[in-house]
Structure 1
Amino acid sequence: MASDVGDLDDLGLGATLSRRSLLNGNVALAALGAFGPSLLVEGARAATSTDGEVLSGSHWGGFRAKVEGGRMVSLEPWEKDPTPSHQLSGVLDSVYSPTRIKYPMVRRAFLAKGAAAERDSRGKGDFVRVSWDQALDLVVTELQRVDKTHGAAATFAESSGWNSPGRLHNCQSLLRRMMNLKGGLVDSSGDYAAGAAQVIMPHVVGSLDPALTGITDGGKAKTGAAWLTESGAARIPVARVVDMLVNPDKPFDFNGTKADDPEIKLAYWVGGNPFVHHQDRNRMVESWKTLETFIVQDCLWTPTARHADIVLPATTSYERNDIECIGDYAGRAIVAMKKVIEPVFESRTDYDIFAALAERLGKGHEFTEGKSEMDWIRSFYDAALMQAKAKKYQMPDFDTFWNGEGVAEFPVTSGKSGDVVAFEQPLGARQPSPLDDVPRGMSAELQERA
């Protein structure tokens, strides 16, 4: 059976290619950072995919979607967005792209021989459709096999900067949460967008990011290049992925520390697409042949997904409920990301997939903590509400927020000059840096060379 990359004619849906969206964290939702994922309990208080108008959010801002016959047919930017993005129309593309992954799939050779299968056919599109139970059992079997044979440091779990909008269904942290419950992983440090700035800027201004901690991954992984920590988690610089696969155990320097590349046998990628954004594609294709098993969880047949052994179909952000901020740094509002439509084909939410894997690993309750999707969303909002009351901001209670307008706005604080100044506080009160000891003449000389 060829790769499941067809059109959506059987649903009467047509569209063009797009990518999974993301919405960065914001200061206004700082209280939403420390949480565990949800249990998708049927019947939970959630937005249903009935016809009408639905408020939600995306990487390109908040929007109101029009639903007809269970299908999202159009959308308009949130009316208070001062600079709505023309890219917002890509939301429809990502949902109804002809490249949506419809069903769980396994590379034919891998299905027959497992990790002993030849690897040259990766990327050729020779996949076989399997059931969800079969796919999940196969993933767990491989995770346990690699841990038992090679140890936790042989599994690389990654997304390389991509994640979905929403504080609950963040695929990166959900992956790490499941992996930490399993016993450990190797993941990455940093991303391609900020690059070296993520390492050098904290030494200069104190911190590169707002005071949002992000969702909990359940582990104790630390930034830097140290391998296994006490929790069994480890990280490498994101741009070293190919080097890591080609030259295991090779030493390197990173942010003032020294470490060796681990020897990776299994990689699990969620939402990212390294075969598009990583350098030297031919070298990357060859390096991937060192992997015994490659698992991809995504909504679209990306080049990376085509190179996988096991492919799990994930929903887009618009096929589930969540909560998020509007405004990357200003954090001007909290928006209810209500589910616009039901999941298409056999796609499942990232959380639902990882909850099922955790259950098979004997860690189901630890992963879900027994809470429903709406329980978690309510708790995040209530934590933000407590902060708002302390700062004398007006916010409605959760039921009024979720069942009513679906947006809780905040006043935007201006800097001394009348404009919002990023990192104004760190710049005024940063901690001493090792760079303070660099002679000013040397700094000037480096600037001239640059």
Structure 2
Amino acid sequence: MDDTIGFPDPGLDLSDGFKPHTSHWGVFSARQSEAGLEVRAYAGDPDPNGIIGNFPGALRHQARIAQPAIRRGWLERGPGPDDRRGRDEFVSVSWEKALDLLGDELGRIRDTRGPGAVFGGSYGWSSAGRFHHAQSQVHRFLNIAMGGYVRSVNTYSSGASSVLLPQILAGYEDITKRNVTWEQIAENTDIVLAFGGMALKNSMVAGGSISKHVERGAMEAARQRGCAFILFSPLRDDLPVEAGAEWMTCLPGTDTALMLGIVHTLVSEGLHDQAFLDRYTEGWPVFLRYLTGESDGQAKHAEWAAAICGVDADTIRELARRAAGKRALITVSHSLQRAEHGEQPVWMGMVLAAALGQIGLPGGGYAYSLGAIGYYGRRVNDVPGPTLGQGRNGVRDFIPVARIADMLLNPGTTYRYNGETRTYPDIRLVYWAGGNPFHHHQDINRLRKAFAKLDTFVVHELAWTATARHADIVLPSTMTLEREDIGYSTNDPLMVAMHQIAEPFGLARDDYDIFADLAERLGAREPFTEGRTSRQWLEHLYEPTRASLQSRGLEAPDFDEFWRRGSLVVPQQPDDGGRLRSFREDPVNHPLPTPTGRIEIHSAKIAAHGDADCPGHPVWLEKTDMPKPGAPCFLVANQPVTRLHSQLDFGGHSLGAKHRGREVARMNPRDADARGIRDGDIIRLFNERGACLAAVHVTDGIAAGVVQLPTGAWYDPMDPEDDAPLCVHGNPNVLTRDIGTSSFAQGCTGQLTTVEVEKFTGNLPPIRAFDPV
């Protein structure tokens, strides 16, 4: 394990003209040669991510945007609602004209409607660099030049859990970043109950740079020591083969019922840790009345759970017995809470861990979403990293991130969120940089109607994504390889000097330079730039790290030396279990940041909200979107293997995994045979919201009654003039439902829905998603 997780850094190989760079999926070096772009993975990475193979084909792809473009309808008729967005043609213009027109429109909105009529999109993930981080850049610009903007809160990945966990256990980052680490699992854990799994495709990416992919090695080391991994998922590869997992295919969306059955067994057989529950938790007696059926007349015993989740009752009881008294770790994946009532499995997983009495012990207890992102389960850096200040937002209004279509379609209407009744603002201009809502948002046909309501939709993009094609003003931005930056993650000790590898494509410009020129048109250039060039900003942002190292008597190279070396290893905090360990050791002097200072199995605060779809303790709630016997399948719309979300879908690594140009869905042989479908066929997936085509891989690695289609294939409507056109490329978000997890958190429910599947026998339409505009 020391060789896998530890440092020192072996250094980036910068011979033969290779230069250092990094990405959300791994550190690498690259060079331009007569053969084109060449990339090679960081030598210190024991398990490099193949997504770096998307760069060579993407760098100069025809889908790149070469110069500013304005939608013809907006250019000729001016701002206003228009259902031609996504169907209209674009007119190429000069930078000067594009910026003049946009500056005038931003000034009009600011002066007549105020900054509360502007929504700053930009979901992030565009670059591992800390300065050219598009989300930070656009928010800084809107705050300084416009006086603010309506923002979004939470994420599509963890919309339910990020609202719930701070109220019942601890801060979100306390649980995900300062809790159970991979070292602890390798050395201490006896049994892992992984609800939703810990798929390597998810942990292979991180919110910032990532230098070493350690998850596979940690699970293998734990297994060799004797740790048992049990996977509850419809997908066998939600744990790697190195974990040697026992695979149990509970019905999608029923994990809460399964956990209730396990806890009921623990209690009925006296296997639960009552001493832990008494000392550290709040509300166990209230929950116990529900568990035993005293409060509702239905005991949540193993037989009850088995009838819901499809796992045999004897197996449920045996699971409880195997976990009791062991160093047991309960993990709950992001995927479980990206569904209707998504708060419940997150909360119930914590209750299961509390009943086992393991929370706060090394390698034991509760680890929400361990394995979801590459910085979860890792130590935290002990020096500050580069951070671009975003200024002060003068607008207090916000929405939960997944409610954007509701906001645009229903301004002035009310909705519930976190115990409050809020009102959707009236947004007239959306500014998006560094994101693709036509990838991550649900019910794309509804989203198209929502964006049609705007006066103006502005997008910075490097390629003609569906989001760019639905915009009014499209400004070409550089790819990460075409600029300098500093790569850094709070949970990875390798800071990387990201050298420029290639010249910008066409007339593409850095977001920073675009915003600087726009800020000048709005009278705010100096406060936005603070008089610095991009290189001067990098030097400025590096200084806090250097000063912190120097104050500790550690090696603290100046910026020029750091840039020459290409990387710098920074110290990390000890692996001490963070807040949960401190609480376990001394709950009086180190209380949790919950209303009672304890683990809240029942939350009086949440109960007081009065929201029936998220009561005061975890419960089993029936889903409204469930397959009928002999009818549709569950659709699991999860993250892809060959790209990060939808990024560089036209890259070689991503294209190489498609079949006949389509995204590949997976299906169990039983379901395929019943529909006359064979491996490699093109299938049509459809429901009342829409339809898409995909290739199919028939495999016993997926549970019967389930079809899996990853997100990220660029939306490609066969006939954009239709209100609900067929996506010929395989984007599952034409099928997913645009509703919140509950009125408590309003998180994304895009992981799970129901569809019917049939073999496609018509003329196969061409893929046009990557055609130039």
Instruction: Pick the TM interval, shorter chain.
Output: 0.7 to 0.9
**How far does residue 233 in structure 1 lie from its aligned partner after superposition?**
4.9
Percent identity reads 37
Whether the 8 Å CA contact 1:54–1:67 is kept in 2: the answer is no
Aligned to 2:575: 415
Secondary structure of the residue aligned to 2:37 is strand
**How far does residue 160 in structure 1 lie from its aligned partner after superposition?**
2.3
1:377 aligns with 2:341: no
Aligned AA (1:88) = I
1:406 aligns with 2:371: no
**How far does residue 103 in structure 1 lie from its aligned partner after superposition?**
0.8
Aligned to 2:45: 81
Structure 1, residues 39-66: CA drift from partner, whole Å, max 9, x if none?
xxxxxxxxxxxx9211111111111102
Structure 1, residues 134-153: CA drift from partner, whole Å, max 9, x if none?
11111111111122232211
Cα distance in 1 for residues equivalent to 2:569 and 2:83: 53
Larger radius of gyration: 2
Aligned AA (1:338) = H
What number of residue pairs does the alignment pair up? 381
1:176 aligns with 2:349: no
Higher mean displacement: 267-276 or 299-308: 267-276
Whether the 8 Å CA contact 1:205–1:426 is kept in 2: the answer is no
5+ residue gaps in structure 1? Answer: 1-50, 221-230
**How far does residue 232 in structure 1 lie from its aligned partner after superposition?**
3.0
Aligned to 2:476: 313
Structure 1, residues 313-348: CA drift from partner, whole Å, max 9, x if none?
0001111111122xx553211110111111110000
Higher mean displacement: 426-435 or 60-69: 426-435
Aligned to 1:282: 445
Structure-2 change in CA distance of 1:80 and 1:266 (3 Å)? same
Cα distance in 2 for residues equivalent to 1:94 and 1:424: 44
Aligned to 1:330: 491
Aligned to 1:56: 21
* The one of 348, 351, 361 aligned to 2:522: 361
**How far does residue 282 in structure 1 lie from its aligned partner after superposition?**
1.6
Cα distance in 2 for residues equivalent to 1:388 and 1:438: 37
* The one of 121, 124, 134 aligned to 2:84: 121
Structure-2 change in CA distance of 1:63 and 1:437 (3 Å)? closer
Aligned to 1:449: 620
Aligned AA (2:620) = R
Aligned AA (1:410) = V
Higher mean displacement: 199-208 or 56-65: 199-208
Structure 1, residues 265-300: CA drift from partner, whole Å, max 9, x if none?
111111211112111112111111211111111111
Aligned to 1:142: 105
Whether the 8 Å CA contact 1:206–1:426 is kept in 2: the answer is no
Whether the 8 Å CA contact 2:128–2:487 is kept in 1: the answer is yes
Cα distance in 2 for residues equivalent to 1:338 and 1:438: 47
Cα distance in 2 for residues equivalent to 1:378 and 1:330: 22
**How far does residue 74 in structure 1 lie from its aligned partner after superposition?**
1.0
Cα distance in 1 for residues equivalent to 2:578 and 2:32: 38
Secondary structure of the residue aligned to 1:296 is strand
Structure-2 change in CA distance of 1:164 and 1:111 (3 Å)? same
1:387 aligns with 2:548: yes
Whether the 8 Å CA contact 1:161–1:192 is kept in 2: the answer is no
1:187 aligns with 2:151: yes
Secondary structure of the residue aligned to 1:258 is strand
Structure-2 change in CA distance of 1:438 and 1:250 (3 Å)? farther
Secondary structure of the residue aligned to 1:449 is coil
Structure 1, residues 217-263: CA drift from partner, whole Å, max 9, x if none?
1114xxxxxxxxxx235321101101101111112222333321100
Query: Matches of residues 289-300 of structure 1 in structure 2 within 5 Å?
Result: 289-300=452-463
Whether the 8 Å CA contact 1:153–1:186 is kept in 2: the answer is yes
Structure-2 change in CA distance of 1:430 and 1:86 (3 Å)? farther
Secondary structure of the residue aligned to 2:556 is coil
Whether the 8 Å CA contact 1:167–1:215 is kept in 2: the answer is yes
* The one of 191, 212, 232 aligned to 2:395: 232
Aligned AA (1:123) = G
Cα distance in 1 for residues equivalent to 2:583 and 2:23: 31
Structure-2 change in CA distance of 1:113 and 1:197 (3 Å)? same
Cα distance in 2 for residues equivalent to 1:253 and 1:65: 49
Aligned to 2:593: 432
* The one of 64, 76, 87 aligned to 1:112: 76
Structure-2 change in CA distance of 1:441 and 1:317 (3 Å)? closer
**How far does residue 86 in structure 1 lie from its aligned partner after superposition?**
1.2
Secondary structure of the residue aligned to 1:75 is strand
Secondary structure of the residue aligned to 1:166 is coil
Structure-2 change in CA distance of 1:53 and 1:286 (3 Å)? same
Cα distance in 2 for residues equivalent to 1:234 and 1:439: 29
Aligned to 1:11: none
Structure-2 change in CA distance of 1:423 and 1:360 (3 Å)? farther
Whether the 8 Å CA contact 1:180–1:218 is kept in 2: the answer is yes
Q: Calculate the aligned-residue CA RMSD, in Å.
A: 2.7
Cα distance in 2 for residues equivalent to 1:94 and 1:234: 38
Secondary structure of the residue aligned to 1:67 is strand
Secondary structure of the residue aligned to 2:65 is coil
Structure-2 change in CA distance of 1:314 and 1:439 (3 Å)? closer
Secondary structure of the residue aligned to 2:125 is coil
Whether the 8 Å CA contact 1:393–1:410 is kept in 2: the answer is no
**How far does residue 83 in structure 1 lie from its aligned partner after superposition?**
2.5
